[in-house]
Amino acid sequence: MKNLFIKCVVTALASAVSVCASGQTALTLQDCMRYAISNSTKIRIQQAAIGDAQIDRRDAALKLFTPQISAQTYAYYNFGRSIDPQTNTYFNTTSFHNNYGVSAGYDLFDGFQAVNNYRISKTGMLIADSQEKQVEADICLAVMEAYYNVVYYKRLCDVYEEQVATAEQALAKARRQEELGQKGHADVIQMEADLADRSYELINTRNMYEQHRMTLADLMFWPMNEELNIDTRTAIPSTASVIPSEVEESPESVVNFALEHNPGVQIASWQQLNAKRQLNTAKWQLLPTIGLYAGWSTSYYTYQGSETATFADQFRNNGGEYVEVSLQIPIWNRLSKHSAISRRQHALDKATAELDQKRRDVESEVRRAIQDRDGAATAYQQAQRKAEVQSEAYTLNLKKLEQGLISPLEFQTANNNYLKAQADEMNSLFKYLIKQAVVRYYNGEAYIDQ
């Protein structure tokens, strides 16, 4: 008898598409990842953050390249003493005043605040994009782990179902042999107990399968009123292609690539760059600021009991323009700008320390992932050999049991070893696939593209 797991792999290779009972194609691992990304609330939150970053960049660009323009108007009645604009003398009467104005202003020099804010906003867009990629990677890895858990327990259910069927056939044969006097009642009772154990393990494994499928559905944000059907047959590659004959990359090359392209490192690096720009901006604020302003205004007024020019004449005749260049020199502002410089310096120190820590964490994670992958590969190869040996031992013991050469208790022990070997093989394979995916991710290949 060949190993059941190997038979499942062969069946998977022969099956091109897995179809569920309802006629819909079952979801593969990549399908689950895509669905989770498109429906995740974390992605929606991050997309909102990207929208805010786009608005910040637009506002910074408008402040840098365009002037500030405003228009104003006001109207009021004055009761009592007021100044006659024609004679510049006081008089007591009711008057109506109406004013219109347009003004524009542009900061010629503001300590490079607008320039640095524009650069910071562009880096903020890069940070927001990298944060979205990081969230996508976290979602994909979580979905992958949950998906393989579902496949593992589904395959384990298949194994236990076959074991229950075999135990039922052996028990029926043993009862017949008891009737013929070829077996004792104790052997039959032992087989009944073995069948009960197999049925119990099958029920527990089915429960674990349903629990992990619910976990996967939650990660995917799958509708609660719909059943999640995943492809558990084509989820595993062929045995020959699982572990490559040679390792294509060295740990140093993966580490160097991750330190340059990993979203977490890039985010920390850009945050440090923005902290430097903010510190420079705070230092430049100690210098004077220069602004250019221009405007136009006109007015209209009337007095109770007197004749005034028409609105059109006053609107035209009372108009005036102005051009202003301002120079503002900071002398004493209670050390607020010096305090801002100190805070920005502390923020830069913090960002630098966070970048160093992130680079150390990523390097440690990469080296640990490579070590875990290599260890998982060795464990899987050993589990394969163990499963093959236990499969042969199970076949021989089954024949011995049928011939009455071993007791049911001895066969149960051999059967337990066989089941454990199959479970260990599947478990080690899934561990290796996950560890391998992590290393490939750090080497620049997204989870969803693997």
Beta bridge partners of 326: 291
CATH class of 4-69+112-288+335-449: mainly alpha
The CA-atom distances, in angstroms, between 296 and each of 67, 97, 312, 319 are 15, 17, 16, 7
pLDDT at 236: 62
Cβ burial 139-157 (10 Å sphere, 16+ → b, else e): bbbbbbbbbbbbbbbbbbb
Structure tokens at 385: 């050999």
Residues 6+ apart with CB under 8 A from 373: 432, 435, 436, 438, 439
Closest CA to 150 of 201, 242, 215, 224: 215
In tens digits, what is the pLDDT along the chain, a chain of 450 residues? 334 333 333 333 333 333 343 445 789 999 999 999 999 999 999 999 999 999 999 999 999 999 999 999 999 888 877 776 667 777 777 888 899 999 999 999 999 999 999 999 999 999 999 999 999 999 999 999 999 999 999 989 988 898 888 888 878 887 887 787 777 788 788 888 888 988 999 999 999 999 999 999 999 999 988 889 998 876 565 554 556 544 557 899 999 999 999 999 999 999 999 999 999 999 999 999 999 999 999 999 888 777 888 999 999 999 999 999 999 999 988 899 999 999 999 999 999 999 999 999 999 999 999 999 999 999 999 999 999 998 888 888 888 877 778 777 788 788 888 888 989 998 999 999 999 999 999 999 999 998
pLDDT at 234: 65
Query: Are 292 and 148 within 8 A, CB to CB?
Result: no
- Give the span between the Cα atoms of 43 and 131, in whole angstroms: 10
- Name the residue type at position 440: R
Closest CA to 29 of 223, 231, 213: 231
> How many Å is the Cα radius of gyration of the chain?
39
Read off the pTM.
0.79
Residues 6+ apart with CB under 8 A from 25: 17, 18, 19
Strand, coil or helix: 440 = helix
- Give the span between the Cα atoms of 416 and 201, in whole angstroms: 11
pLDDT at 275: 97
Strand, coil or helix: 101 = strand
pLDDT at 12: 36
